[in-house]
Structure 1
Amino acid sequence: KWFRYQRRAALTAITLVGAFSSFIFSPLTGTLTAEHGWRGALMVLAVILAAVGIPLHAAVLRPAPVAATEEAVSPARGHVRAVLRSRRFWFLAIALALGSYTWSAILVQLVPSLIDAGYGIQFGALAAGVVGIGQLPGRLVYVIFGRALRGARLPVATFGLAVAALAVLSLDRSEGTVLVFALVFGMSAGMLTLMSASVPAELFGRHVYGTLSGVIYGCSNGARAVAPFASAAIALLPGGYATLFGSLMLSSLLAATLGFLALRGEASD
């Protein structure tokens, strides 16, 4: 609503700043939990959120600009239905859902997997923080090399980084390897965030962005909700966390394939 002509730049600025949140708050949360328990940690974090977030939103947010007459025209329902019936749309939606599933599974299982490997909660929180800060270079790659990564190369690069990171973690869980994994996987997650926000509008048009994004994020949020339970069940199988990481590699490979099919130059719907 606010950035019709510089949408990508606005999304990038917001998400670049947001990339620092995990780096700051993951170690802080780990320390607070160790010292005050999870209830005390939640109370401290709630106070920080209220004291900082509410005044900033009250000071900065403004009403959305009034759209021009031609901008206010609702998209034809027939066009929305045609897109929703297309294979290209569902290839993209499923690819992004698989990416969200993988992200949520790692978010939930990374620290327990490191504790299982003999590390303390502080190192687990540090690794989670590196995943968060790793989103920053990933988003910079998306911005700086945006032209080179247009089309089918974007999902291949995004999900390919996740595959590479998970392969590294599957082979070795030494401290250095874990931090390399965290950085590379964070880069993949950073690119995924911007891809999810920008590609639907670029691929199908801005006038149907709201409807299509609702469907896409519905699929992605469903995948995020399933991930903690599914990943825990997989981790209980023979092989434990190695089996889990292998399954997430397969999910990322499938996401790369579907994303490639969705964004390749010509699509036959």
Structure 2
Amino acid sequence: MDNTIPRSRGWLIPSLGLTQIVAWGSMFYAYGVLMQPMQDELGLSKPAIVGAYSVALLISGLLSTAAGSIIDRIGGRLLMGSGALLAAVMLACLSRVHNATELYLVWAGIGVAMSATLYQPAFAVITQVHGSNYRRAITHLTLFGGFASTVFWPLTQTLLQHVGWREVWLIYAAANLLICLPIHASLPKGRGPAHGTPPARTETRSRNLTAVMREPVFYLVTAAVTLNALVFAAMSLHMIPVLQAHGISAANAAWVGALIGPMQVLGRVVQATVGKRASTRQVGMAAISLLPLSLLLLFASEQWLPVYVVFAALYGIGNGVMTIVRGALPAELYGRAAYGAISGAMATPVQIAVAAGPFVASLLYSAGNGYPGTLLALTGISAAGAILFGYVIRHLRQQSMLLSNEGTST
């Protein structure tokens, strides 16, 4: 198996990594800082201001399959280049919104840009280029993306202190135009066979989207990773209140939450070193199990602060590695010929879950009489996802053994 990277493509991971930092930072993380001043000036309610952001995530998820199919056919240059240009235009428009209608229209456009520029299309591009070495390439790319919040949360806060929120959006529009667009416009032209694998052999091992979507296993594994993503998304917005509801002070809750970002990067580093010899399925089983285990730790006494540090480590590592698993699993299960479409189809419900997660947690909060009931329900949902993933892994292992036995008998 050829694990070398073509010298002419050595620039791809760091360059795409830079665009991921800018794209995630400007379209995903910056809004968390700018949301409150925008709400105050526009005179909107909290649900209205958050809802616009959820619309973008929903649209991004619904377009994932189409974006992946385009990359399968013609490569990523046109799609990701157009996405970067659209992001620049939409962020510039966001600096000029004055009411809810304009806000929602602009965020809908940003959702389209997200579908063409964030991890999913980038994974499809590097899977084409890096061939059998795709998982290592995906891991390295996510190491860059993991720093988006680390860079853009403090950067956005600093910019906001010196200029208004409208000017911040203009600066981020310029960043997408001047940094992301030139890099995306330089991506390999056309699809071509994945490096390191002859075209004929790639096609015989791969299946197209229509064939894959006839298999129950596809829906089971997609459901497992969707449940996992739903809980992560719910906790991302509600984590600090959940910690405080269990008796943790606001300062300590913020400190525990701040550990999660570095732990995500640590998880990806561990996967790239210790876990590189394991299959994506094995890594995924370990990572998806960390979420319910971490949530169980939140039922500890508020006096056991070290337990909450362990929670942050397990939670962050699991989330960091699951990003890689969701990117690499479609190629491991179904081959690389139709990777873009298949990974996009798997990503669609995941993105919908990410958009719905905070709202689902709010419903659980009302139905469960507070955050303790919410946490218990989220723990159960995440455990169900882990159990379902384990069932799929066992089924695939048994299926592989049966095929091996049939081959031996013939």
- TM-score of the superposition, structure 1-length normalised? 0.81
Q: How does 1:151-170 map to 2 (within 5 A)?
A: 152-170=281-299
Contact conserved, 2:208 with 2:337, CA < 8 A, in 1?
Answer: no
Is the contact made by 1:88 and 1:263 (CA closer than 8 Å) also made in structure 2? no
The answer for the alignment partner of 1:207 in structure 2 is 337
Contact 1:27–1:126 at 8 Å: present in 2 too? Answer: no
Specify the alignment match of 2:232 in structure 1.
103
Residue in 2 aligned with 1:64? 188
Identify the range of structure 1 (203-212 vs 111-120) with the bigger mean alpha-carbon deviation: 111-120
388, 393, 398: which is aligned to 1:266?
A: 398
Structure 1, 189-198 or 63-72: larger mean CA deviation: 63-72
Cα distance change of structure 1 residues 238 and 263 upon mapping to structure 2, 3 Å threshold: closer
Indicate conservation of the 8 Å contact 1:21/1:132, yes or no. no
Greater shift after overlay, 138-147 or 199-208?
138-147
Say whether 1:13 aligns with 2:131. no
Aligned length: 263
Going from structure 1 to structure 2, the CA distance change for 1:29 and 1:65 (only over 3 Å counts) comes to closer
Q: Decide whether the 8 Å contact of 2:225 with 2:326 is kept in 1.
A: yes
What is the CA-CA distance between 1:259 and the residue it aligns to?
Answer: 1.5
Q: Is the 8 A contact 1:100 1:223 kept in 2?
A: yes
* Whole-angstrom distance in 1 between the partners of 2:375 and 2:173: 37
Deviation at 1:13, TM superposition (A): 1.8
1:241 to 371, 377, 380: 371
Contact 1:26 1:129 in 2 (8 A): no
Residue type of the alignment partner of 1:246? L
Alpha-carbon distance between aligned partners in 2 of 1:56 and 1:211, rounded to the nearest angstrom: 27
Which range moves more in the overlay, 22-31 or 203-212? 22-31
Asked if residue 150 in structure 1 is aligned to residue 290 in structure 2, the reply is: no
Give the 3-state SS of the residue equivalent to 2:242 in structure 1: helix
1:190 is displaced (CA, Å) by: 0.5
SS in 2 for 1:145: helix
Offset of 1:128 from its aligned partner?
A: 3.4
Corresponding letter in the other structure for 1:17: F
1:32–1:119 distance in 2 versus 1, CA, 3 Å: farther
AA aligned to 2:295 is L
List per-residue Cα deviations over 1:183-220 (Å, max 9, x = no partner).
Answer: 22010001100000001111111112122112111110
- Amino acid in structure 2 at the alignment position of 1:63: L
Structure 1 residue aligned with 2:355, among 225, 245, 253?
Answer: 225
CA change 1:129–1:18 in 2 (3 A) is: farther
Task: Tell me which moved more, 144-153 or 182-191.
Answer: 144-153
Query: Aligned AA for 2:139?
Result: T
Deviations 1:131-184 (A, max 9, x none): 222111111222223355426432321122112211111223455443332222
- Cα separation, 2, equivalents of 1:44 and 1:179: 37
Q: Which amino acid aligns with 1:131?
A: I
Partner of 2:387: 257
Query: How far apart are 1:14 and its partner, in Å?
Result: 1.8
Distance 2:233 2:224 in 1: 14
Matches within 5 A, 1:116-127: 116=245, 117=247, 119-120=249-250, 124-127=253-256
1:49 aligns with 2:177: no
Kindly state the Cα deviation for residue 30 of structure 1 after the two structures are TM-superposed: 7.6
Change in Cα spacing, 1:44 to 1:159, as seen in structure 2 (3 Å) is farther
Please, which moves more after superposition, 6-15 or 185-194? 6-15
Given residue 353 of structure 2, which amino acid in structure 1 is its aligned partner?
Answer: A
1:92 aligns to 2:203 (yes or no):
no
Alpha carbons 2:220, 2:392 under 8 Å: kept: yes
| In structure 2, C-alpha distance between the alignment counterparts of 1:173 and 1:83, rounded to whole Å | 47
How many percent identity over aligned positions?
26
1:16 partner amino acid: L
Query: How far apart in 2 are the matches of 1:146 and 1:254?
Result: 24
Q: 1:4 matched to which residue of 2?
A: 130
Match of 1:113? Answer: 242
Query: Which one of 266, 285, 300 corresponds to residue 137 of structure 1?
Result: 266
Q: In 2, are the aligned partners of 1:26 and 1:126 still within 8 Å (CA)?
A: no
Query: Is the 8 Å Cα contact of residues 296 and 379 (structure 2) preserved in structure 1?
Result: yes
* Range moving further from structure 2, 214-223 or 13-22: 13-22
Q: Which amino acid in the other structure matches residue 130 of structure 2?
A: R
1:179 aligns with 2:305: no
1 CA distance for matches of 2:257 and 2:166? 21
SS in 1 for 2:398: coil
The equivalent of 2:14 in structure 1 is none
Range with greater deviation from structure 2 (170-179 or 106-115):
170-179
